[in-house]
């Protein structure tokens, strides 16, 4: 979640002014982290309008729908709704759709072509390769996408294939291309590649689209792949010298972190070569972070070769020193993260949960933080990965509990009745839905109607009645089951009754994956049971809390889940991968598990050649830099003495990036008095929790 940003300057600084007012040729705005790049883009749009360019002739291209929507809103606030309405603010893919809907017939597409999503593509690839192995088809999908992002078709891929696996993938790609052409369909990569082919092969279409856009602004240009760069180039290489190269590229070579999906920092190197008149403008003043944080970031990124010189600085003062903490393992790390949140929150109401983010390298690292935050009843959301509550098995169980609470909840009914399957198929549910619609009743109420026998056969009706009776019986037992111990017994008995563990194992090819999903279910059972109260163990003692029924707890689950799923305005701690955190900021950030093998991520384990290894390490260093520069006020970097690697526990080696921060230089060491103050605050927070539990226990005696 994005915390409110420190107030940008009322007026633009000198570098920002240069970027906004340069209209006569191409420019590259090197926008350091927190330097106000979106502000520059929207002010440049206003300046272009002021110069006489009509809104429909200005394009601003970014990478996500969310970023495009934010840019449009900020432009609307600056230039007014009427002008903003006609601006061509979009993602690369949306621009590609627009071009293909208009001129796709010139590359063999009808105007109403279909766009396949990832799952659709997987099905076509399985068919094209004659295989039923999803994992193999996924590998083909990934490889073909990378080839397309490099501008290769199947013929080019066959020539470039360097292994037997790649040669097989290239042959599958050839059949895949034929299938898409027959289906009149495209995948997401085609939304960039086909518009480029259109411009390269059709003079009339190229002239039309070059005439359409008089100035193009591209955000996050360091994240473009080879095909996106060529598309930009084709759009701005106007034959008229007065219109040639009229673009503003905004980006930061130090934040190029998407090489694994085809983005290449080489595009930044090419810009000055392809456009010799390119004006370079560096935005170095950071309006987000304090001096200590920026110095740590600058020192880390100094380990990479520089494409363009740039050093971030801040007028916000030094602030608190960056802290490095050693933790015994993942659980200890998560406990310390929770204690830090509680300690800072105890200092005043002005500190919100939404001020905190815990950032990590890989999705699997979220789980232990989720467990500890749930145990402390701290609301959180997972960004860039799958939340505990988003997992299919947890959604199944929540659907059952929602149905116990509200039997008119049709979406919950439709999920619970097939989780697991019980001989109730799509046709039966469709007939039940028609009947419920005709009589204006819920699906659950409809299944007990004496008139339903006229719409369904006896076997289907019997299966529905059996499900309905079980739900009613479970609701009765959930209403009268109190306390954690009895709640856990009820929930485990329910899962056994419906055969849910076997349902998971039947649905997975991998026993390991099925076991992991069943462990998620058991975690959920423990979590619900704990919320039912009774005698619990906490902070080394046993305490008694109010007992709640399973049904009472079920009534609160929807609220908890909706809190986890709500938008950016909720007061929740953010758990996020470093990649997903790019572009966001928080007052208080913890970079978790900054160890060799995690960050940097297994750089020596993949058998890479020397040059590729160097490039991988440089990208991992940029990822560390991105993580550091997400923090506004405080930054904690945690490292593990021992960490899990698969099923093993191994010695943890602190990341080389910690040493590169050089926190012992320039007065960045933590003042011992401040450290004592912080430790006291953390101890006070723990003590308050213990005293509260003891007071509650005493009141119940």
Q: How confident is the model at residue 634 (pLDDT cuts 50, 70, 90)?
A: very high
Q: Angle between the 291-301 and 610-628 helix axes, to the nearest 10 degrees?
A: 180
Question: Catalytic one among 222, 224, 228, 255?
Answer: 255
- Mean pLDDT along residues 53-73: 88
User: Which residue in the list 189, 220, 585, 596 is annotated as catalytic?
Assistant: 220
d(CA 464, CA 427): 13
Task: Scan for tokens 């856990």, then name that residue.
Answer: 488
Provide φ and ψ at 587, rounded to 5°: -65, -40
Instruction: Output the pLDDT for position 515.
Output: 86
For residue 668, what pLDDT is reported? 42
Alpha-carbon Rg for the chain in angstroms: 29
Residue 535, strand partner residues: 544
pLDDT above 90 covers what percent of the chain? 40
634 is catalytic: no
Give the model's confidence band at 537: pLDDT under 50 very low, under 70 low, under 90 confident, else very high: very low
- What is the H or E stretch that residue 460 is in? helix 458-480
Q: Identify which of 232, 234, 277 has the alpha carbon closest to the alpha carbon of residue 251.
A: 232
669 vs 214, which has greater pLDDT?
Answer: 214
pLDDT at 341 over 70: yes
Q: Which of 189, 190, 219, 333 is catalytic?
A: 219
Query: What local confidence, expressed as pLDDT, does residue 133 receive?
Result: 82
Which residue do the tokens 């259109």 mark? Answer: 198
Tell me which of 630, 632, 643, 656 is the catalytic residue: 630
Q: Is position 615 annotated as part of the catalytic site?
A: no
CA 336 to chain centre: 24
pLDDT at 541 over 50: no
Residue 206 predicted with pLDDT over 90: yes
111 versus 417: which is more confidently predicted? 417
The pLDDT confidence band at residue 300, using thresholds 50, 70 and 90, is: very high
Largest CA distance in the chain: 88
Report the C-alpha gap between 603 and 263 in whole angstroms. 18
Tell me how far apart the alpha carbons of residues 43 and 35 are, in angstroms, rounded to a whole number. 14
HSE (side-chain half, CA atoms, 13 Å) at 580 = 20
Confidence of residue 8 (pLDDT cuts 50, 70, 90): very low
Is there a catalytic annotation at residue 290?
Answer: no
Out of 303-312, 451-460, 522-531, least confident range:
451-460
Give the mean model confidence (pLDDT) for residues 599-609. 70
Reported as a pLDDT band with limits 50, 70 and 90, residue 293 is very high
Output phi, psi for 590, to 5 deg: -120, 125
* Confidence band for 604, pLDDT divided at 50, 70 and 90: low
What is the pLDDT confidence band of residue 607, given thresholds at 50, 70 and 90?
low
User: Which of these is catalytic: 16, 37, 367, 629?
Assistant: 37
In percent, the amount of the chain with pLDDT more than 70 equals: 88
Lowest mean pLDDT among 9-13, 124-128, 430-434, 533-537: 533-537
pLDDT for 695? 53
The position carrying tokens 């002005």 is 350
**What are the distances in angstroms from CA 608 to CA 362, 603, 613?**
20, 8, 6
d(CA 100, CA 190): 10
> Which whole number is the average pLDDT over 226-242?
90
Length of the chain: 701
Q: Determine the pLDDT at residue 484.
A: 86
Domains of the chain: 14-102+192-287 (3.40.50.300), 114-183 (1.10.10), 313-379+571-682 (3.40.50.300), 390-554 (1.10.486.10)
In the set 38, 141, 285, 342, the catalytic residue is 38
Closest CA to 67 of 44, 92, 48: 92
DSSP code at position 493: H
Burial class (CB in 10 A: 0-12, 13-18, 19+), 137: buried
Mean pLDDT score across all residues of the chain:
84
**Among this protein's residues, is 630 annotated catalytic?**
yes
Q: Which residue, 141, 366, 359, 361, is CA-closest to 257?
A: 361
Pairing type for strands 247-251 and 27-31 reads parallel
Token readout for 316 is: 């916000």
**In b/e form, how buried is each residue of 46-60, taking b as 16+ CB within 10 angstroms?**
ebbbeeebebebbbb
DSSP codes of every residue in 111-149: TT-EE--HHHHHHHHHHHHT---HHHHHHHHHHHHHHHH
Per-residue pLDDT tens digits for 507-536: 777 788 888 889 889 988 988 888 887 654
């Amino acid at each position: 979640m994005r915390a409110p940003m420190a107030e940008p300057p009322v007026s633009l600084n000198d570098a920002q002014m240069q970027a906004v007012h340069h209209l006569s040729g191409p420019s590259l705005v090197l926008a350091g982290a927190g330097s106000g790049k979106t502000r520059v883009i929207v002010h440049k749009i206003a300046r272009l309008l002021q110069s006489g360019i009509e809104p429909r002739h200005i394009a601003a291209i970014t990478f996500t729908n969310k970023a495009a929507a934010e840019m449009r809103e900020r432009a609307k606030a600056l230039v007014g709704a009427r002008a903003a309405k006609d601006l061509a603010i979009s993602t690369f893919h949306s621009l590609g759709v627009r071009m293909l809907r208009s001129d796709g017939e010139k590359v063999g597409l009808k105007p109403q072509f279909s766009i396949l999503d990832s799952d659709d593509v997987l099905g076509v690839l399985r068919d094209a390769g004659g295989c039923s192995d999803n994992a193999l088809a996924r590998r083909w999908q990934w490889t073909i996408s990378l080839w397309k992002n490099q501008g290769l078709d199947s013929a080019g891929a066959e020539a470039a294939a360097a292994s037997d696996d790649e040669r097989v993938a290239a042959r599958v790609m050839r059949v895949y291309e034929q299938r898409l052409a027959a289906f009149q369909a495209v995948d997401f990569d085609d939304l960039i590649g086909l518009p480029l082919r259109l411009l390269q092969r059709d003079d009339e279409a190229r002239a039309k689209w070059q005439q359409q856009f008089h100035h193009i602004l591209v955000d996050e240009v360091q994240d473009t792949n080879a095909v996106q760069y060529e598309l930009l180039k084709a759009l701005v290489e106007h034959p008229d010298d007065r219109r040639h190269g009229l673009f503003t590229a905004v980006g930061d070579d130090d934040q190029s972190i998407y090489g694994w999906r085809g983005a290449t920092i080489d595009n930044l190197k090419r810009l000055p070569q392809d456009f010799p008149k390119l004006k370079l403008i560096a935005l170095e003043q950071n309006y987000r972070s304090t001096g200590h944080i920026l110095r740590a970031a600058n020192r880390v990124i100094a380990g990479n070769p520089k494409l363009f010189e740039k050093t971030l600085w801040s007028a916000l003062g030094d602030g608190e020193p960056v802290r490095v903490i050693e933790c015994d393992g993942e659980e200890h790390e998560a406990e310390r993260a929770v204690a830090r949140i509680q300690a800072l929150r105890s200092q005043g109401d002005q500190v919100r949960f939404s001020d905190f983010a815990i950032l990590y390298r890989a999705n699997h690292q979220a789980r232990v933080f989720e467990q500890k935050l749930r145990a402390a009843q701290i609301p959180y959301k997972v960004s860039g990965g799958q939340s505990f509550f988003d997992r299919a098995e947890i959604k199944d169980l929540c659907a059952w509990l929602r149905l116990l609470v509200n039997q008119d909840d049709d979406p919950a009914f439709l999920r619970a009745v097939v989780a697991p399957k019980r001989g109730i198929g799509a046709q039966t549910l469709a007939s039940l839905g028609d009947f419920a619609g005709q009589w204006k009743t819920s699906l659950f109420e409809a299944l007990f109607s004496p008139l339903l026998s006229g719409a369904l056969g006896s076997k289907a009706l019997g299966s529905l009645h059996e499900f309905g009776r079980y739900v009613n019986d479970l609701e009765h037992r959930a209403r009268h089951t109190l306390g954690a111990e009895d709640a856990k017994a009820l929930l485990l008995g329910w899962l056994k009754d419906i055969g849910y563990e076997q349902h998971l194992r039947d649905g997975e090819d991998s026993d390991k994956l099925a076991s992991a999903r069943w462990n998620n279910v058991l975690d959920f059972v423990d979590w619900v049971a704990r919320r039912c109260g009774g005698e619990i163990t906490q902070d080394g003692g046993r305490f008694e809390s109010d007992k709640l029924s399973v049904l009472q707890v079920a009534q609160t689950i929807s609220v908890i889940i909706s809190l986890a799923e709500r938008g950016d305005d909720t007061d929740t701690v953010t758990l996020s991968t470093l990649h997903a955190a790019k572009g966001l900021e928080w007052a208080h950030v913890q970079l978790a598990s900054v160890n060799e093998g995690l960050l940097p991520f297994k750089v020596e384990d993949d058998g890479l050649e020397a040059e590729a290894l160097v490039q991988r390490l440089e990208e991992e260093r940029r990822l560390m830099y991105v993580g550091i520069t997400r923090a506004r006020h405080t930054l904690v970097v945690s490292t593990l003495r021992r960490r899990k690697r698969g099923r093993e526990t191994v010695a943890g080696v602190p990341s080389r990036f910690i040493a590169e921060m050089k926190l012992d230089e320039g007065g960045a060491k933590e003042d011992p008095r401040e450290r004592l103050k912080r430790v006291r605050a953390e101890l006070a927070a723990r003590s308050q929790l213990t005293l509260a539990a003891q007071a509650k226990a005493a009141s119940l005696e």
